């Protein structure tokens, strides 16, 4: 049976972030010692699991309804865990609204906290050991960063420590070293997958709360890398793109009903559910609920399947203020109505609540990380088949990763374009948190992620990979030994056989493979990095980059930003004598964007190159 409809894959994973730097509050010294984390009572997790999963699915629907991005990734458990920490500091309407999301059954606070303690302990002990190494690694951490002038209430700190293993740090938010310290904490605990998350703070920062979640799971049945090859993936708008497709024949958990075909891929102690709707993917998401997911997991039968699974690297930063308010969590964001008086009597309200996620899926398994951040400021107050099924994930899909013991959804998302590796700040209501986005942000220096060209071409790709994406060429040349080039739609692509002589390509293997190191155009009508096009004025170009030194000066070499040093991201403007025209260059550590202007100060030639710069 060929699967020809849209795919949905849901992935649930947990991840952690640990703290570093600043003055750490030692609860064991300053607060009464609680034994709540010793031999927790065997309390049912069903209500907690249902609440976490339901909130995550509702949030997925909210973000997908916006339709701003082809891909969505979020972590239901990371969000719920930090909200559970904070509900212990809330009172009145604010607490009721938080409980609507994480505790709809209205469990007593003690029971809810114990349930979370049990869930966290179950997750971090999931998986098996093989040769002294865990085959499934799950790490979770919470931290509180408290303004040194804020009088915090000890019972709140004690509860956060005893049940949620929260670290607490006294900090001076006015100190320029505080943001780098928090970012080091985040980067360390997400194993380098989430970096530079915090860029700015609210005008009067008082408290920052973080939950980090890290997952690294090996497939019980890994894919054979030799069978991975470029194949077509058809996006929602019917555009065919080339992706690295893993291929194998495997035994998977398989379930089918009138709405979808579903495959279950096992890690050790966790699993990924892949859902292929038989109808429209967006209609399926609108009707998706936790019961459907649990039914599929419980009724999946072992089946042999011919599997096609695209390799993925996705990241996204979602600002959740508006989404959560639409889901009923309103007063927390209101300076006049927020009630966090169990944290402090100095009125607090949430300025920004965001979540940044990363996921990578390859032949060996899956690595994922999530960082949920809450920034406060001061307010006013067995049936085997004879023939294998075909499970081809070659169209849009939803992914879910959950732990097998309690059924908690750790990560969930939607993929419409596997090549769109960087996600934008969805519903961005504040510039406080940075994203790992491919966006034309004039306040940021040029990054490697912005060097993406027609159909998903990137510098460093092999000759074969580029031709697969371009679906052929208009002209082709063998320029010289070790050099090839093709022309497609007005762009000239230059390929070089990478060997030991290429000392300026530190991140490429010396394997004698032809790779794309150079492309240029004088006629292509599409966009290049930063949305730049042929014919753009020099003023428009400069407005797309940071820097102050932008007044045009003939015969000058003007640094726009950065330092004129190898390895330093930088940009400069130069007036060339032989052309009597300007030339603009912006570099990352490994790529170069060069713009040549005509005498009317309009872009005439765009060149992009791959080299240590």
Q: Model confidence over 125-151: pLDDT tens digits?
A: 876 665 656 678 999 999 999 999 899
Rounded (10°) angle between helices 154-164 and 109-124: 40
Tokens standing for residue 2 = 């060929």
The per-residue pLDDT for range 264-297, each reduced to its tens digit, is: 999 988 999 999 888 888 889 999 999 989 898 8
354, 210 contact by CB (below 8 A)? no
Poorest-confidence range of 17-31, 35-49, 565-579? Answer: 17-31
Query: 517: how many CB neighbours lie within 10 A of its CB?
Result: 22
Task: Give percent above pLDDT 90 in the chain.
Answer: 47
182, 433 contact by CB (below 8 A)? no
The pLDDT confidence band at residue 601, using thresholds 50, 70 and 90, is very high
Tokens standing for residue 407 = 């059924």
Spatial CA neighbour of 528 closest among 581, 591, 574, 593 = 593
Going through 296-451 in order, the beta strands assigned E by DSSP cover 301-310, 312-319, 348-361, 365-378, 389-392, 397-403, 409-415, 422-426
Spatial CA neighbour of 193 closest among 366, 406, 6 = 366
The reply to whether the predicted model has a pTM over 0.85 is no
pLDDT, average across residues 467-479: 84
| Amino acid 359: pLDDT | 95
Long-range contacts of 540-546 (CB under 8 A, 24+ apart): 541/584, 541/595, 541/603, 542/573, 542/584, 543/442, 544/440, 544/442, 545/442, 545/445, 545/446, 545/571, 545/586, 546/442, 546/443, 546/444, 546/445
CA distance 248 to 2: 15
The pLDDT confidence band at residue 99, using thresholds 50, 70 and 90, is very high
CA distance 10 to 239: 23
Instruction: Please give the helix or strand (H or E) that residue 175 lies within, else none.
Output: none
Alpha helices in 103-239 (DSSP H): 109-124, 154-164, 178-189
User: Ramachandran region of residue 106, left (φ > 0), alpha (ψ -120 to 50) or beta?
Assistant: left
Architecture per CATH, 225-311+388-425 = Roll (2.30)
Tokens standing for residue 603 = 């872009």
With tokens 């966290």, the residue in question is 120
Strand partners, 208: 375
Poorest-confidence range of 132-141, 414-423, 442-451? Answer: 414-423
484, 477 contact by CB (below 8 A)? yes
Rounded (10°) angle between helices 46-66 and 76-87: 120
Instruction: Please give the helix or strand (H or E) that residue 266 lies within, else none.
Output: strand 260-266
Instruction: Quote the DSSP letter at residue 34.
Output: P
Helix (H, G, I), strand (E, B) or coil at 481: coil
Tokens standing for residue 326 = 């639409």
| Amino acid 427: pLDDT | 47
pLDDT, average across residues 197-226: 91
| Amino acid 37: pLDDT | 37
| 14-30+42-218+313-381 CATH | 3.30.497.10
Poorest-confidence range of 37-46, 278-287, 419-428? Answer: 37-46
Query: 139-168 as b/e, with b when 16 or more CB fall inside 10 Å?
Result: bbbbbbbbbeebebeeebbbbbbbbbbbbb
Poorest-confidence range of 212-216, 340-344, 439-443? Answer: 439-443
């Amino acid at each position: 049976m060929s699967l020809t409809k849209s795919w949905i894959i849901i992935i649930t994973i947990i991840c952690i972030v640990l703290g570093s730097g600043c003055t750490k509050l030692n609860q064991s010294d300053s607060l009464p010692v609680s034994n709540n984390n010793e031999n927790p009572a065997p309390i049912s997790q069903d209500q907690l699991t249902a609440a976490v999963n339901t909130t995550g699915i509702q949030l997925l629907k909210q973000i997908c309804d916006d339709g701003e991005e082809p891909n969505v990734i979020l972590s239901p458990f990371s969000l719920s865990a930090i909200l559970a920490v904070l509900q212990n500091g809330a009172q009145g309407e604010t607490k009721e609204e938080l409980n609507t999301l994480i505790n709809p059954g209205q469990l007593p606070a003690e029971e809810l906290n114990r349930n979370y303690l049990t869930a966290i302990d179950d997750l971090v002990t999931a998986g098996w050991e093989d040769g002294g190494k865990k085959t499934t690694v799950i790490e979770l951490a919470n931290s509180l960063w408290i303004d040194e002038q804020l009088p915090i209430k000890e019972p709140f700190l004690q509860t956060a420590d005893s049940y949620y293993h929260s670290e607490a740090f006294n900090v001076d938010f006015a100190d320029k070293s505080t943001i780098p310290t928090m970012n080091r904490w985040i980067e360390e605990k997400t194993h380098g997958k989430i970096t530079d998350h915090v860029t700015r703070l609210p005008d009067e920062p008082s408290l920052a709360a973080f939950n980090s979640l890290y997952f690294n799971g090996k497939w019980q049945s890994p894919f054979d890398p030799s069978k991975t090859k470029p194949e077509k993936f058809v996006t929602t708008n019917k555009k065919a793109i080339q992706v690295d497709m893993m291929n194998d024949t495997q035994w998977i958990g398989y379930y089918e009903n009138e709405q979808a075909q579903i495959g279950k891929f096992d890690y050790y102690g966790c699993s990924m559910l892949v859902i292929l709707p038989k109808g429209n993917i967006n209609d399926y998401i609108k009707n998706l609920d936790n019961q459907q997911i649990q039914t599929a997991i419980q009724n999946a039968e072992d089946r042999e399947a011919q599997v096609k699974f695209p390799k993925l690297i996705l990241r996204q930063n979602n600002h959740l203020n508006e989404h959560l308010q639409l889901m009923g969590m309103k007063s927390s964001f209101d300076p006049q109505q927020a009630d966090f008086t169990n944290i402090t009597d100095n009125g607090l309200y949430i300025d920004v609540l965001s979540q940044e996620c990363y996921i990578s899926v390859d032949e060996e398994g899956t690595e994922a990380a999530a960082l949920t951040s809450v920034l406060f400021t001061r307010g006013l107050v067995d049936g085997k088949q004879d023939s294998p099924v075909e499970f081809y994930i070659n169209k849009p899909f939803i992914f879910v990763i959950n732990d097998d013991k309690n059924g908690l959804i750790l990560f969930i998302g939607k993929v419409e374009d596997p090549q769109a590796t960087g996600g934008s700040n969805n519903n961005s209501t504040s510039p406080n948190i940075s994203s790992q986005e491919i966006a034309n942000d004039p306040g940021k220096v040029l990054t490697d992620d912005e060097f993406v060209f027609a159909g998903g071409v990137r510098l460093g790709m092999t000759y074969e990979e580029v031709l697969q994406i371009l679906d052929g060429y208009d002209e082709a040349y063998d320029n010289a030994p070790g050099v090839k080039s093709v022309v497609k739609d007005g762009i000239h692509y230059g390929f070089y056989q990478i060997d030991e002589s290429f000392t300026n390509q530190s991140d490429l293997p010396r394997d004698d493979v032809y790779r794309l190191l150079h492309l240029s155009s004088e006629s292509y009508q599409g966009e290049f990095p930063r949305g730049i096009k042929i014919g753009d004025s020099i003023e428009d170009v400069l407005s797309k980059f940071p820097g102050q030194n932008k007044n045009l000066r003939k015969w000058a070499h003007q640094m726009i930003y950065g330092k004129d040093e190898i390895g330093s991201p930088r940009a400069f403007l130069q007036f060339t004598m032989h052309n009597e025209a300007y030339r603009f260059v912006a570099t990352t550590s490994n790529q170069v964007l060069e713009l040549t202007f005509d005498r009317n100060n309009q872009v005439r030639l765009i060149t992009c190159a791959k080299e240590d710069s």
